[in-house]
Structure 1
Amino acid sequence: MYVGVDPETGKQRYLTETCRNPDEAEAARVRMVAQADSGKGFAGRLEFGDAIKLWLASRDEYVAAGELAASSQRNSRQLAETHVIPVLGAIALGDLERELVPAAEALYREVGKCRLRCRGRTDFEHYEPGRGNARIARDLHGHQCGKRCRPHECPRASASMLRKVHSVVTGTCGMLHRWGWMPGNTSKRIVAPAKPPLNPKAPTTVEVAALVDAAFARNQDWGTIVWLLLVTGARRSEIVRSQLKHVDFERSLIFIDPTKVKDTSRWLALDPVTMDLLEALRARITDRLGALGRTVTGEEYLYSFEPDHALHGSAGYLSLRLKSMGRSIGIDTHTHALRHYAATELIVGGVDIVNVAHRLGHRSPKSTSDIYAAWRPDVDRRAAALLAGGLQAPAAKVPGPDRDRSAEQPRRTAHEIEQRIREVRQRTGWGPRRIKHHLAVEGVIRAESTIWKILHRHEPNITRPPAAIGTTLHDGQPDPE
């Protein structure tokens, strides 16, 4: 079937398919007509890997326009080059409907078992040289092992990583469908990886106090940065890029310039203690610039390792430093956990969810309530007390005097029969079984259990023998023959 001219080569293109019988030929004809109508024949010799590169290039435009975070684009590009293109890139666009779904699901399973996709063939991990480089070295020609090279243990990919790999596939398929290169979005038929569980782990107030004490004990500048992370709830990248000009010392406000979500810039109110810490930090920056013969301009970064604070510090090193400090005092935490702490404390303190979302820089309060609000045991105890406070406990019953209830056994046996059982017992000393047989001869038949209750009512000290010994009295003496 003729499908037009290839825009890349200028040659005429035909779709061909071999069939075994007329029915298969008719089905093939229908498919080829659909492909021709959808314009798939004009895709030339493009493969899925080429489409992924086009999709990444289109996202670069969003990054340049400020509508997409550069870190998100870098992460998507790394996942595409590491996992998606090597496995799915060779699939031709004409075969995408048939081959993409099983190949993509197999890729997710493989990455889920080992995020390096070793397939059991890797015994040692070699990393490329370079500061802060965590990429696996694929070409070992001339490679010299460094401190990051280590024996390989298959690390399972997190649910978040699998979802990001899936987003590369879905984003590319969506682009192809919008451009008219595919009749439908094939990625909708792929079983998506499970969503990561929402389990925020905010540190407790005791742990936060220990972190603050440890931070100020190490360095006043470092303690101020940790304090800002706690009282503002801002992201680490937002605090790292904050400058002196962003702090309004007159109105006790700080301006947060968003680094991840567009249109979430905000002014946050600060308490007097925080303002005192920031004024002390400004004084130290002024002294450092004075030693260099310079004055404060407001462009100085709050978190910096430069003498003139002209460059901000690394956000990655901030996280590493906080995590290392926490481990040194027995606390397993990270910078994002401090954000969870701020959200939890604000919600527990009664601040409405809209203002909490604004302080954290969320577009929707749903993200705040679903992800950042953590459960607190002390709040749960207050909830239990609040629920119980609306109820009235039942009045306690005053216990009456103790009394002997042994003579209060319900009497369901006639008084004459009970007297006859007691007479036989006193005269013969027999047990319930012999008494039962004796009364049966006289025409008075009572169950053995009834005879036992009557005897126990008048002889409380009598002991009942094991069930297997049926020819003994209940006082332990042998039953006479």
Structure 2
Amino acid sequence: MKLPSGSLRVRVYAGVDPLTGKRHYLTETIPAGRTAEREAEKVRTRFLNQVDEKRSPRTRATLNQLLDRWLEVVDIEPTTRMGYVNKLNKHVRPVLGKLPVGRLDAETLESFYASLRRCRDWCGGKAFVKHRVEGEHTCTTKCRPHVCKPLSASSVRQIHWILSGALSRAVRWRWIAVNPAGQAEPPAPPHPDPQPPNSADAARIINEAWRDPDWGALVWLAMTTGARRGELCALRWQHLDLTAGVLTLRRSSYLDEDGELREKDTKTHQQRRVALDPETIEVLRELHGRYLDRLAQLDADNDLADYVFSPEPDNSRGYRPDTITQRYGRLATRLGIDSHIHALRHYSATELINAGVDVRTVAGRLGHGGGGTTTLRVYAAWLSESDQRAAGTLAARMPPRPAAPTLRTAESSPYRAIAAELREQIATAMLRPGDQLPAVAELAAAYGVSVGTAHRAVVLLTAEGLVNVSRGRRATVTYA
């Protein structure tokens, strides 16, 4: 088709758009010129090949439309879905949402990732003021100039895998022929660096938390079992067997899109049984006793379905996970400790590993999937500490190391050690005035050093006036 400007438009039928049901065409405009017809024929041939080989996009749908459709059919956990939606709405849709899916390529995605690593607000390097409220208003101290803050590598990787999942579904639906995310390279995974509290800080945390014994019991259980905060919030008395000393983790609490408290399966969709030590059993017995005392005051009956940890006197409602996070954060801030509630899970894991417990058992207590792969990757640094302790154990069983004659003195350098021993022999009259010292080569062989080192020892004694050296003769002890 020739346009009024002289340009040529190539248009090839590519089927029916599965989203709109309308006829879909591949189009491209060739600028006017002497070679326009030849270039147009090349484009037409390329389009026909793409259609024949089913490598052409079948839709003009945008990325926003693909994401909406994908979120309708993908089967994921509610909390995972909320995380996906938040990241897509905040970072992806404003920038790439209106772009046709067929025009996405690896370069576009990698440029997008690079921009997020520079600034999460997609500022483009331009200065602007971040206003506290929208519309006309009087700026306050909370309306501040924008400061670029990069998005973490882990968050960019999560965005990449979200897009990869949606685009993979688009390939399956034949919206596009190739998944561009499969050709794009996300940021390298960050090196795991858990920072659990040390033993001294853990003791301070427990002592501070025990100002409220019920809260202290929750912190104690988080440390000793490594349970997730949502699992602690969903824990009920029927999940505790204090006689057998076993805790069963079946459910996890979370907040839905409306901020309402809900429960779901654990993160790995499997319940797990965690053995309790005698001290933890006693902590939970005392907690249960306080629970029964409150029910007696309220003239209420106990119910095994009641929550173990609750803000209500009758334990009828569990804690919100964010409440646990905020309360623990305030506790750590008061103590001047840089910590968060998930760090107690790290504390439990690292203490077990450092105590010599095998990785598979630690993974089972924490609820890690993959037979310990996650545990091994995240806590490799503490496994290294265990390896160092093993090396120390082996060293303790080794036979005593023979001490070299030259190292029996406290002198730091070998030639000083030789000079000190010769000096002692002179002082104790083992070497008398006029006696010859051994030849330099003999000293080197006797003390296991080089000839140069033995020579330095003789030079040192000569400088002190204890030895006299003449050309062509052995060094002799001087007369007092």
TM-score above 0.5, yes or no: yes
2:114 to 84, 109, 115: 109
Tell me whether 1:241 sits opposite 2:247 in the alignment: no
- Residue 250 of structure 1: aligned partner: 243
- Residue 454 of structure 1: aligned partner: 471
Q: Which runs of 5+ in 2 are unaligned?
A: 1-11, 31-35, 253-265, 409-420, 442-468
1:56 to 71, 85, 88: 71
- Residue 93 of structure 2: aligned partner: 85
- Residue 191 of structure 1: aligned partner: 185
* Corresponding letter in the other structure for 2:79: S
Deviation of residue 233 (structure 1)?
A: 0.8
Deviation of residue 10 (structure 1)?
A: 4.8
Tell me whether 1:15 sits opposite 2:8 in the alignment: no
**CA distances 1:333-366 after superposition (whole Å, capped 9, x unpaired):** 1112111111122222222222211111112111
Tell me whether 1:319 sits opposite 2:312 in the alignment: no
Q: Percent identity?
A: 32
Q: Which runs of 5+ in 1 are unaligned?
A: 63-67, 128-136, 412-451, 462-481
Tell me whether 1:33 sits opposite 2:27 in the alignment: no
User: How well do the aligned residues superpose, as a CA RMSD in angstroms?
Assistant: 3.3
CA contact under 8 A between 1:15 and 1:32: conserved in structure 2?
no
What is the distance in 1 between the residues matched to 2:64 and 2:317? 38
Deviation of residue 407 (structure 1)?
A: 6.7
What is the distance in 2 between the residues matched to 1:7 and 1:180? 9
**CA distances 1:371-421 after superposition (whole Å, capped 9, x unpaired):** 13543897566344224235441234265734589876779xxxxxxxxxx
CA contact under 8 A between 2:226 and 2:344: conserved in structure 1?
yes
The 1:351/1:258 distance shift into structure 2, 3 A limit, reads: farther
The 1:410/1:321 distance shift into structure 2, 3 A limit, reads: closer
* Corresponding letter in the other structure for 1:367: T
CA contact under 8 A between 2:307 and 2:315: conserved in structure 1?
yes
Tell me whether 1:261 sits opposite 2:267 in the alignment: yes
Tell me whether 1:358 sits opposite 2:374 in the alignment: no
SS in 2 for 1:86: helix
Tell me whether 1:301 sits opposite 2:307 in the alignment: yes
2:218 to 214, 217, 225: 225
CA contact under 8 A between 1:252 and 1:275: conserved in structure 2?
yes
Deviation of residue 313 (structure 1)?
A: 1.4
Tell me whether 1:73 sits opposite 2:88 in the alignment: no
The 1:83/1:35 distance shift into structure 2, 3 A limit, reads: farther
2:341 to 326, 335, 340: 335
Deviation of residue 81 (structure 1)?
A: 0.9
2:375 to 368, 392, 399: 368
* Corresponding letter in the other structure for 1:109: A
What is the distance in 1 between the residues matched to 2:39 and 2:161? 38
The 1:8/1:251 distance shift into structure 2, 3 A limit, reads: closer
* Corresponding letter in the other structure for 1:69: E
Deviation of residue 31 (structure 1)?
A: 4.1
Range with greater deviation from structure 2 (76-85 or 293-302) = 293-302
Deviation of residue 247 (structure 1)?
A: 1.0
1:118 to 116, 119, 123: 123
What is the distance in 2 between the residues matched to 1:456 and 1:21? 103
- Which structure has the larger Rg over C-alpha atoms? 1
CA contact under 8 A between 1:3 and 1:36: conserved in structure 2?
no
CA contact under 8 A between 1:207 and 1:331: conserved in structure 2?
yes
CA contact under 8 A between 1:255 and 1:268: conserved in structure 2?
yes
SS in 2 for 1:268: strand
1:385 to 381, 389, 392: 392
* Corresponding letter in the other structure for 1:91: L
SS in 1 for 2:244: coil
Tell me whether 1:210 sits opposite 2:204 in the alignment: yes
CA contact under 8 A between 1:200 and 1:373: conserved in structure 2?
no
Deviation of residue 106 (structure 1)?
A: 2.0
Query: Per residue, is there more strand in 1 or in 2?
Result: 2
* Corresponding letter in the other structure for 1:454: R
What is the distance in 2 between the residues matched to 1:458 and 1:256? 83
CA contact under 8 A between 2:268 and 2:367: conserved in structure 1?
no
Aligned length: 398
**CA distances 1:282-307 after superposition (whole Å, capped 9, x unpaired):** 22222223333321112222222122
1:290 to 282, 286, 296: 296
- Residue 451 of structure 2: aligned partner: none
CA contact under 8 A between 2:353 and 2:386: conserved in structure 1?
no
Range with greater deviation from structure 2 (229-238 or 113-122) = 113-122
